[in-house]
Amino acid sequence: SQTIHQWPATLVQPVGSPLSLECTVEGTSNPNLYWYRQAAGRGLQLLFYSVGIGQISSEVPQNLSASRPQDRQFILSSKKLLLSDSGFYLCAGRGAGGSGGETQYFGPGTRLLVL
Amino acid sequence: AQKITQTQPGMFVQEKEAVTLDCTYDTSDQSYGLFWYKQPSSGEMIFLIYQGSYDEQNATEGRYSLNFQKARKSANLVISASQLGDSAMYFCAMREPYSSASKIIFGSGTRLSIRP
């Protein structure tokens, strides 16, 4: 089965500082990968998804970017954080097919606080 | 455009009772998938159950069952014999029609609180 790793678990950053959140996947190859943001007490907003190395699609215009340098690695970045970037960031993966291929599995998330 | 609606922002249920969490969806596609996820206070999203639009029988996973009524476009989650550990946020979600991206859209969630 798939396992999604994310780090760090918690991050406090000053406004204007850069950001790099990493997500890695175990247990599947060529997964679809997704970055979501969740504001406190709210639902999930899809930020980016990737169907393969170097292939990134953005769902909403924002201050963030994503990259996929390896098959099982997905990185969320920002050059200069804004206060509004605070939130809970979740990485998810969907296997290439077979058993459980319909389902997205999530990592443990990163709580980002921008001050 | 596809949409997921969860009309119950919060629910309180007595331990050991059954609980139904409502979910309705809107899509013009014939092929789609429906999911329920649980999010405890730790924040992780836990997959509970999946229902394909062509599945004739309602999906079941242990104490969880999905009451799928296709004509009414509803996909309610039923938890039997609720436990204190069931207290969490619950999200209904729908997969776009099959594509390489297979994006999933989420509802706004229902906060379930189980009373001892």
Q: Indicate the burial class of A76 (C-beta count within 10 angstroms; 0-12, 13-18, 19 or more).
A: buried
Q: What is the pLDDT of residue A59?
A: 87
Q: What is the pLDDT of residue B100?
A: 63
How far is Cα A36 from Cα B72, in angstroms, rounded to an integer? 29
Q: Which residue of A has its CA nearest to B45?
A: A106
Longest dimension (CA), chain A: 44
Predicted confidence (pLDDT) per residue in B18-39, tens digit? 999 999 999 888 888 999 999 9
Q: What is the pLDDT of residue A100?
A: 45
Predicted confidence (pLDDT) per residue in B71-110, tens digit? 999 999 999 999 999 999 999 999 877 666 778 889 999 9
* pLDDT higher than threshold 50 for residue B6: yes
Using the CB atoms, write b or e for A6-16: b if 16+ within 10 Å: beeeebebeee
Q: Does B98 touch chain A (CB under 8 A)?
A: no
Q: What is the pLDDT of residue B107?
A: 94
Tokens of A98: 């077979």
pLDDT tens for each residue of chain A, 115 residues long: 789 999 999 999 999 999 999 999 998 888 999 999 998 878 899 999 999 999 999 988 788 999 999 999 999 999 999 999 999 999 999 875 544 456 889 999 999 999 9
Q: Does B90 touch chain A (CB under 8 A)?
A: no
Q: Find, among A40, A35, A41, the residue nearest to A60 by Cα.
A: A35
* pLDDT higher than threshold 80 for residue B1: no
* pLDDT higher than threshold 90 for residue B9: yes
Interface-testing mutation among A103, A106, A110, A111, with chain B (most B C-beta atoms within 10 A): A103
Of A43, A107, A111, Cβ closest to residue B108:
A43
Q: What is the pLDDT of residue A41?
A: 77
Contact A32/B43, CB-based, under 8 Å?
no
Using the CB atoms, write b or e for B76-101: b if 16+ within 10 Å: bbbbeebeeebbbbbbbbbbbeeeeb
Tell me if A94 sits within 8 A of B47, measured CB to CB: no
